[in-house]
Amino acid sequence: MTTNATGPHTLGKVRPHPTQNEALLFEKSSPGKRAYMLPPLDVPAVDAAALLGPAHRKTPGQLPELSEIEIIRHFTRLSTWNYAIDLGMYPLGSCTMKYNPRVNELVARIEGLAEAHPYRPDSLAQGILEVIDLLQCCLLEITGMDAITLQPAAGAHGEFTGILLVRAWHESQGNPRRKIIIPDSAHGTNPATAAICGYTVENLKSNAEGGIDLEALAAQVDYETAALMLTNPSTIGVFESQIARIAEILHAKGALLYMDGANMNALVGKARPGDFGVDVMHLNLHKTFSTPHGGGGPGSGPVACKAFLEPFLPIPVLVQNENGTKHWKYDRPQSVGRVRAFYGNVGMFIRALAYILANGPDGLRQTTEDAVLNANYIRKKLDGVYELPYKTASMHEVVFSDKLQAAKGVKTGDIAKRLIDYGFHPYTVSFPMIVHGALMIEPTESESLEELDLFISAMRSIAKEVEETPELVKTAPHSTRVSRLDEVQAARKPILRWRPVE
Amino acid sequence: MLAEIGAASIDDLFAVIPAGNRLDRDLAVPRAHAESEIIDYFRSAGRKNATGYASFLGAGAYRHYRPVIIDSLVQRGEFLTSYTPYQAEITQGTLQAIFEFQTMIAELTGMDVANASMYDGSTGAAEAVRMAMRVTGREKAVVAATVHPEYREVMATYARHQELPSTLVGYDPKTGRVDLAALEAAITQETAAVLVQSPNFFGVVEDIPAIAAIAHAKGALLVVSIAEAVSLGVVRPPVEADIVSLEAQSFGVALSYGGPFCGVIAAKEQFLRQMPGRLVGQTVDGNGNRGFVLTLSTREQHIRREKATSNICTNQALVALMATIFLSVYGKEGIRELAEHNLAKADYAAKALGAQPGARLLFAGSPRFNEFVLQSEEAPAAWSQRLLDKKIVGGIGLARWYPELDNSTLWCATEMVTREQIDTAAKVLAAAAVEAL
């Protein structure tokens, strides 16, 4: 077997190809170049310095000056340095990197929707209000909840909103309570959210199966417990089969069950949180409902709740008039207030509704089944090659550990980087924290059997490399534009912007 | 695949869900639609939304021209369908673009550093005030009544459980600017932050140097919120501020009925460690090549959990990319020229509308950008329907937020408004006044 810089082989999915170098926009700038032209001014020109007085800007910001084709080439070249779902499987556990249908992009840009000002009169906004109403109805049906707000801009923002509802309800009962219980397997946003809402975070240790320890929970829940924040299926991809009992334990002490809906892709059309005791939850439209991740956003984090929490929803809420038209209602004295200006990331609502319309009831169920099938297929094919710390049945994602490879000094982070050389984005590394050296893999329904088999072959091949040439894995990736970057230097002497050379 | 797994049927894989918790019926959602039907549905919704209206609405959401290449570039799958750039080796494109965004925002706002984005201007302002609390160790805020009312509502929501009482400071009824004497009286040794907006909700540019001097004299930080980002092309940046919270929607982001927009926090370098949100930093790889990474993440929730500076995770990355492309297209000269066109349109509109019988321009002597407040003898409802009949959406009524500003409306004229539309609106206003006699 020959070993070159990119390793012995890449299983045919990739081979190195040149990409172009590209300097920063500012380094490419030259005075006088322009990519814009304004129409002739049809009103009298004004003397800005005279109008604004001391508030007039004398020194312009140092923005780059470039021609249009230079800008096109700049960003096109940059784009070729990115991995993306459009290039192949993106098995990031908990992130649900599924295909982003292109029709969704088209409909979100339809003029009457994309150009609508948020303060236009309701009479001129009935089209978008109908879209919002239909999406709300669909999400309520999918979750089995009673009321919903689409205002939160992302999952963590939804958590914030949901816990505010919890707090407002407890306050209405006479005591906001003091603490939120969070399993040690939870996303970092959960404890961060609880803290922002003024709660103390109490950790709940997972049981031997990685799930909720009912006895420990029962011992921990008291009359100062506001809620349990639970991800279900959990971050190890396991459905909490004792979920009804968990809800009972909480409700017996007047505490609420909050569900982090990050993993709803395992449940849509198969089970509804509203049917298994959840009081309030958030969804991630950018995960379950296919709105694009866009390199880190925008997302959208609707919050759905049971009827008793409805009076506390953020203002405004959408209501229907007797004649069928719709308007925003602001007069809601028990509301927690606003969590952002206007009504939410409406462009994402349009895309999510387009996804639901494209699938219909059968498609939504099939999507969930395929996502779970794909994860279980990977689990079966890699079990033994990588250690499976929890044997509990997997739903839409599977978590392995690097225990077998760590014996050779190779860690999950190394295996992840080597996966890049095989043409895949890494899985989620070192999370959840209850699994030491975790490899968290979520294929989603979007992947074909062929792509799954290629991924499995890559993972098996890397396991073999760990045995035979561990250094090759530990120094990966070998085929990228840049090798491993010096994160310590970046943090020690932060350079967060370009500055002109003196 | 089922055989490989050793499952008899797909239902075996869901057996772990207790039978009583399983959904044994179809979801009651619309049937599956063909692509052509989906497009028809949304086109029909778009038509019901009424198109073809001239609009004088601003108030935190601004209609500016969006160069075509913005959508050509952000729809490249490599940007659109990529995740947060945690794996730096295969996300250098997104990382470099964010680094360029951070640079542009710092340049425009006069701050040292900027983050990778926040959800929007309202949450950004709330987070900026929380940041000032961490920096100063103080727990109170003073907020100007001229900050966007919905931003103030969001701040109140964020502050409610943070033991952060905020004091509201009014405005001078002649100038529409923050009442400086009241501001000075409101700030105490416990004030962490003074939050103002400039141009403020009335479109008036605040006296930032004077406000900064008052805030700093008592050890408070000055947080300046900017809702109309194009103003930075011609309005002096708030260099005396400690933290700037910018809504970048004006930089090439569609109105989209209020979202997605793009907040961003910029600040003096010394406050960096208390910033919320993601930051991209420059570094080198093993061969000495320049590269970019997400950095200083020990501030963030995925590392610090309940001790994080914020719970923010997903932000508005693709929208920040739109802003970056917009600013590349306009560049150093273009952003100034664009801002001057806005200034000219709004000046013409303010004078044309303010000159109509029964109408009066408020805060007329104060420096403005592209918005102004008009007070009329008649209630706005009297003439707004006439404007709608002419396919014009007039200014938004202010009484819902400022009861003292009865019969007052906030108008915005960007470069997208034509002289003809302004003249038509003026005629309608004049006609309304005549009928009222």
- What confidence tens digit (pLDDT) does each residue in A55-75 have? 999 999 999 999 999 999 999
Contacts of B104 (CB under 8 A, 6+ apart): A61, A63, B323, B324, B327
- Return mean pLDDT, chain B: 95
Say if strands A280-282 and A256-260 run parallel, antiparallel, or are unpaired.
parallel
Spatial neighbors of A253 by CB under 8 A, at least 6 apart, are: A221, A222, A223, A225
Residue of A nearest to B80 (CA): A294
Query: Shortest CB distance from B21 goes to which of A271, A344, A365?
Result: A271
Check whether A351 has a pLDDT greater than 90: yes
Task: Give the architecture-level CATH label for domain A105-356.
Answer: 3-Layer(aba) Sandwich (3.40)
Inter-chain Cβ pairs, chain A and chain B, closer than 8 A: 652
A36 and B67 within 8 Å at the Cβ level: the answer is yes
Q: B21-41, pLDDT tens digit by residue?
A: 999 999 999 999 999 999 999
Smallest Cα distance from A208 to chain B, Å? 17
C-alpha torsion angle, residues B225, B229, B232, B236 (rounded to 10): -20
The pair of three-digit structure tokens given for residue B321, joined into one six-digit string? 């990319």
Q: Tens of pLDDT along B156-184? A: 999 887 766 789 999 999 999 999 999 99
pLDDT of residue A1: 36
Q: What single DSSP character describes residue A467? A: H
Nearest-by-CA chain B residue for A242: B18
pLDDT at position A4 = 46
Other CB atoms within 10 Å distance of the CB of residue A32: 8
Min distance B354 CA to chain A CA atoms (Å): 16
- Rounded Cα distance between A489 and B394, Å, is 54
pLDDT for residue A501? 77
More confident residue, A192 or B431: A192
Indicate yes or no: CB of A196 within 8 angstroms of CB of B311: yes
DSSP state of A118: T
Could you tell me which residues are beta bridge partners of residue A259? A230, A281
What pLDDT does A3 receive? 43
pLDDT in tens, B195-249: 999 999 999 999 999 999 999 999 999 999 999 999 999 999 999 999 999 999 9
Cα–Cα distances in Å, from A440 out to A46, A190, B277?
A: 60, 19, 24
Contact A241 B108 (CB under 8 A): no
CA A324, A327, A331 angle in degrees (round to 5)? 130
Q: Which of B104, B314, B318 to mutate to test the interface with A (most CBs of A within 10 A)?
A: B314
End-to-end CA distance of chain B: 81
Give the CB-side neighbour count of residue A255, counting CA atoms within 13 A: 27
For residue range B60-97, list pLDDT tens digits in order: 999 999 999 999 999 999 999 999 999 999 999 999 99
Nearest Cα to Cα of residue A242 among A210, A267, A265, A280: A210
Q: Which residue, among B163, B250, B328, B415, would best test binding to A if mutated, counting the most A CBs under 10 Å from its CB?
A: B328
Can you give the pLDDT at residue B432?
67
**Which of B246, B155, B157, B228 is closest to B193 using CA atoms?**
B155
Q: How far is A49 from chain B (nearest CA, A)?
A: 9
Q: Which residues from chain B sit within 8 angstroms of residue A154, using beta carbons?
A: 119, 312-315
What pTM, to 2 d.p., does this model score? 0.97
- Quick: pLDDT tens for A359-375: 999 999 999 999 999 99
Chain B residues within an 8 Å CB radius of A201: 305-306
- Per the DSSP assignment, residues forming a β-bridge with A206 are A212
Q: What is the DSSP string of B371-396?
A: EEEEEESS-HHHHHHHHHHTTEE-PE
Distance from CA of B73 to the nearest CA of A (A): 7
Would you say B345 and B370 are in contact if contact means Cβ atoms under 8 Å apart? yes
- Considering only CB atoms, A490 lies closest to which of B18, B77, B282, namely B282
Sequence ranges of the domains in chain A: 25-80, 105-356
Asked if A376's CB is within 8 angstroms of B7's CB, the reply is yes
Contacts of A438 (CB under 8 A, 6+ apart): A399, A400, A401, A402, A412, A428, A429, A430, A431, A432
CA distance to partner chain B, nearest, from residue A107 (Å): 6
Which has the closest alpha carbon to B308: B435, B127, B181?
B127
d(CA A440, CA A360): 30
Give the containing element (helix H, strand E) for A280.
strand A280-282
First-to-last CA distance in chain A? 52
Answer yes or no: is pLDDT of A12 > 90. no
| pLDDT tens for each residue of A108-141 | 999 999 999 999 999 999 999 999 999 999 999 9
Complete domains list, chain B, with CATH: 54-65+332-436 (3.90.1150.10), 68-326 (3.40.640.10)
pLDDT score of B436: 55
Residue range A302-328: mean pLDDT, rounded: 97
